[in-house]
């Protein structure tokens, strides 16, 4: 039987390599499948700059206009909280920074662990609220397919298992850490086949949106 140490070594080694490979190849393919399709040049006389418009929208579309914020406050606010929470937990927890450092060679200062711990809790609670909203809100329930719930699960699992592993609740810690790594690898493997791709394609989408509008002199 594979011992816990061997399991952890395998998970942090070959399994992580496979997951990263699938993730990187998948994302590259999906991005190129979009970019290579390309866009015909606009023959109309330009009023504004498409590139400036595109760049601007990439940034400004992160800030909702007041009316949309009022109409869909819950979606907007929970969206911000769990995205920021997820990235803070991922990018500023000291052991995670070690992981990025050994894989990419770059490093940055960490946040104190209690801050990360609190952020993780807030993220988990918000994600649960988001699921309830997706199940109860008329529009979201109408739009949601199996993939939306799968992606929700795959997003919350790393945070929950990470929290449990840190607080060592229940089963022996090496297994908890193993479960945490497995949940992350699952997230990476499924990533290119789901709407998680929005993490990359949103920049292209916002650019196109802004370029089309900017060409015509509209700040979209």
Partner 1 sequence: MSASLERGIHAFKEAIDGPVASFFSSCVHCGLCAHACLFYTETGDPKYTPIHKLEPLRRVWKQEYTFWGRYARAFGLSKPVTDEELGEWETLVYDSCTMCGRCSMVCPVGNDIAYMIRRTREGMAAAGHAPEGLIGASRRAVTIGSPMGVKLPALEAQIRHLEQEAGLTIPVDLEGADYMCLLSSMEIMNFPEYIGAIARIFKQANVSWTISSEAFEATNSGIQIGVSEIAAELVQRVVDAAEKLQVKAVISPECGHAYMAIRWEGPNLIGKPFSFQVMHIMEVLDQLREEGRLKTTGKEKQRLTYHDPCQIARRGGVLEQPRNLLNIVAEDFVEMPEAGKMNWCCGAGGGVSANERADELRLRVFNRKKSQLDAVRAEGLVTACSNCRIYLEEGLEEYHMDIPVTGLTETIAEHLVEEGEGGER
Partner 2 sequence: MSKDNTLGEILRKQGVSRRGFLKFCAATASLMALPPGMAPVIAQALEKARRPSVIWLSFQECTGCTESLTRSYSPTVEGLIFDAISLDYHHTLMAASGTAAEAAREAAMEQSYGNYILVVDGSIPTRNAGFSTIAGVSNRDMLLDTARGAAAIVAVGTCAAFGGIPHANPNPTGAVSVSDLIKDKPIINVSGCPPIPVVITGVLAHFLTFGAIPDLDSHGRPVAFYGKSIHDRCYRRPFYDRGLFAESFDDEGAKSGWCLYKLGCKGPTTYNACATTKWNEGTSFPIESGHPCLGCSEPDFWDGGGFYKAISTPTEDIGRTAVYAIGGGAAAGLALGAINRAKRNKAEKEHEQVTIDDLEKGD
Residues that bind partner 2 (CB under 8 A): 3-6, 8-9, 12-14, 16-17, 20-21, 23-38, 94-96, 98-99, 101-105, 110-114, 116, 168, 172-174, 177
Token duo for residue 21: 């490979």
Q: Which residue has the tokens 């390599």?
A: 17
Residue closer to partner 2 by CB (options 7, 213) is: 7
Q: How far is the CB of 18 from partner 2 (least distance, A)?
A: 9
Q: How far apart are CA 31 and CA 203, in angstroms?
A: 11
Binding mask 6-45 for partner 1 (x = CB under 8 A): -----------------------xx--xxxxxxxx-xxxx
Residue closer to partner 2 by CB (options 68, 172) is: 172
Q: How far apart are CA 52 and CA 220, in angstroms?
A: 11
Q: How far apart are CA 78 and CA 220, in angstroms?
A: 23
Interface with partner 1, residue 162, by CB under 8 A: no
Binding at 149: pick from partner 1, partner 2, none (beta carbon under 5-8 Å per type)? none
Binding at 105: pick from partner 1, partner 2, none (beta carbon under 5-8 Å per type)? partner 2
Binding at 113: pick from partner 1, partner 2, none (beta carbon under 5-8 Å per type)? partner 2
Binding mask 39-78 for partner 1 (x = CB under 8 A): xx-xxxx-xx--------xx--xx-xx-xx--xx--xx--
Binding at 131: pick from partner 1, partner 2, none (beta carbon under 5-8 Å per type)? none
Residues with Cβ < 8 Å from 94, sequence gap 6 or more? 110, 113
- Which of positions 142-161 make contact with partner 1 (CB under 8 A)? 142-145, 148
């Amino acid at each position: 039987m594979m011992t816990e140490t061997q399991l952890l070594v395998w998970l942090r080694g070959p399994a992580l390599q496979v997951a990263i490979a699938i993730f990187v190849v998948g994302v590259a393919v999906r991005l190129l499948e979009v970019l290579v399709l390309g866009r015909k040049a606009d023959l109309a006389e330009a009023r504004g700059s498409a590139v400036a418009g595109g760049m601007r929208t990439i940034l400004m579309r992160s800030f909702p206009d007041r009316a949309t914020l009022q109409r869909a406050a819950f979606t907007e606010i929970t969206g911000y909280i769990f995205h920021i929470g997820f990235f803070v937990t991922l990018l500023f927890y000291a052991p995670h920074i070690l992981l990025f450092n050994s894989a990419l060679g770059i490093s940055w200062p960490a946040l104190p662990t209690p801050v990360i711990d609190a952020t993780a809790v807030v993220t988990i609670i918000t994600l649960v609220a988001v699921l309830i909203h997706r199940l109860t809100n008329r529009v979201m329930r109408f739009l949601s397919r199996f993939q939306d719930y799968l992606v929700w699960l795959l997003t919350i699992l790393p945070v929950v298992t990470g929290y449990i592993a840190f607080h060592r609740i229940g089963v022996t810690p090496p297994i908890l850490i193993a479960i945490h790594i497995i949940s992350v690898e699952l997230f990476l493997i499924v990533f290119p086949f789901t709407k998680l791709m929005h993490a990359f394609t949103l920049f292209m989408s916002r650019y196109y949106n802004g370029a089309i509008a900017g060409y015509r002199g509209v700040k979209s």
